[in-house]
Amino acid sequence: MIALFLVGSTWAIEPVVESVQSGQINWTTMELEITSRSDRTIGAWKDVRIQEQDALERLKPLMDEAATRVQYDPERTAGDLLNSNESGPTPKVARRLTEGLDSWRIRETRYLSNGGVEMDAVLELGRWLRPMFLDGVQPSVVYDSDNGTTGVLIDARHLSFQPCMAPEVHTDDGAQLVHPGAVRSDVLRVRAPVAYVQDPADPLAIQRAGQHPFFVTAASSKQGCVLTLSPADSQLLSSNPGFAKVVAAAKVVLVVNP
């Protein structure tokens, strides 16, 4: 039986989730979810307001630690981006990322039967890391080609693939087909370069890639977050006039195992 979950206003199959300390990364919704708990119930700690404050204060260091470990691209974590250097963002972008690290919010507070308090907090990764997506991106390109293709689904369920915010898809000879620099800047302002699902029939996949997508199977994976296509699929996509357009619109869905 396939379980469905409500993501925003769309029903989706069970999301792609990666466990991290004190929580998880939901790669389908691009959210980091962290849980903290205060279960001290002696003396003044019996006051639920003190327990709430304790759970809240525990969240920030947990969120900061987990957020820095989020994989941004095949070579860098989000923590690597917080300090400007030769391979990192500009100082302005690094500063905006540091400031944005506090943009998490409380999603749910639970009052436990033993008197404790538990809090869930969420950081929207796409919004937090948006300044990095846009750093150095060229102005939006308008593509005239429209051959009816609505998106692309790449099946990587058979491979050892580690999701990241900015994955890369290469041809068999190493040319980049999918990467943030190929996405229109206006699109990057509202969504990440790719979407992740567990099943190509997921309604979220259809919503993102449309009714008539390319469907290819990745041949191999390397560096955790890079997919390489077969020679035949490399030729199919790189020579198709509609492919660049769907990549530019971020209508790319990666089908992966969590």
Give the Cα separation of 201 and 197 in Å (integer): 9
Instruction: Indicate the burial class of 119 (C-beta count within 10 angstroms; 0-12, 13-18, 19 or more).
Output: buried
The stretch 60-81 carries a mean pLDDT of: 96
Is 169:154 a contact under the CB 8 Å cutoff?
A: yes
pLDDT band at 143 (very low <50, low <70, confident <90, very high): low
Task: Count CB neighbours of 166 within 10 A.
Answer: 21
Q: Is the pLDDT of residue 241 over 70?
A: yes
Q: Where are the domains of the chain?
A: 4-134, 152-255
pLDDT, position 48? 78
Is 10:204 a contact under the CB 8 Å cutoff?
A: yes
Query: Per mean pLDDT, which range of 70-74, 144-148, 172-176, 229-233 is the poorest?
Result: 144-148
pLDDT, position 191? 94
pLDDT, position 52? 87
Query: Per mean pLDDT, which range of 31-40, 53-62, 109-118, 121-130 is the poorest?
Result: 109-118
Query: Per mean pLDDT, which range of 61-70, 96-105, 108-117, 249-258 is the poorest?
Result: 108-117
pLDDT band at 44 (very low <50, low <70, confident <90, very high): very low
The stretch 2-22 carries a mean pLDDT of: 74
Q: Is the pLDDT of residue 132 over 50?
A: yes
Question: pTM for the complete prediction?
Answer: 0.89
Q: Is the pLDDT of residue 76 over 60?
A: yes
Give me the sheet containing 214-217, strands edge to edge. Answer: 195-197, 252-255, 152-155, 214-217
The stretch 53-57 carries a mean pLDDT of: 90
pLDDT band at 144 (very low <50, low <70, confident <90, very high): low
Q: Is the pLDDT of residue 62 over 50?
A: yes
Residue 181 has what DSSP assignment? G
Please state, in angstroms and as integers, the Cα–Cα distance from residue 134 to each residue in 2, 151, 167, 182, 200, following that order: 37, 22, 15, 11, 28
Characterize the bridge pairing of strands 226-228 and 17-20.
unpaired
pLDDT band at 1 (very low <50, low <70, confident <90, very high): very low
Q: Is the pLDDT of residue 45 over 60?
A: no
Q: Is the pLDDT of residue 86 over 90?
A: no
Q: Is the pLDDT of residue 181 over 70?
A: yes
The stretch 45-61 carries a mean pLDDT of: 84
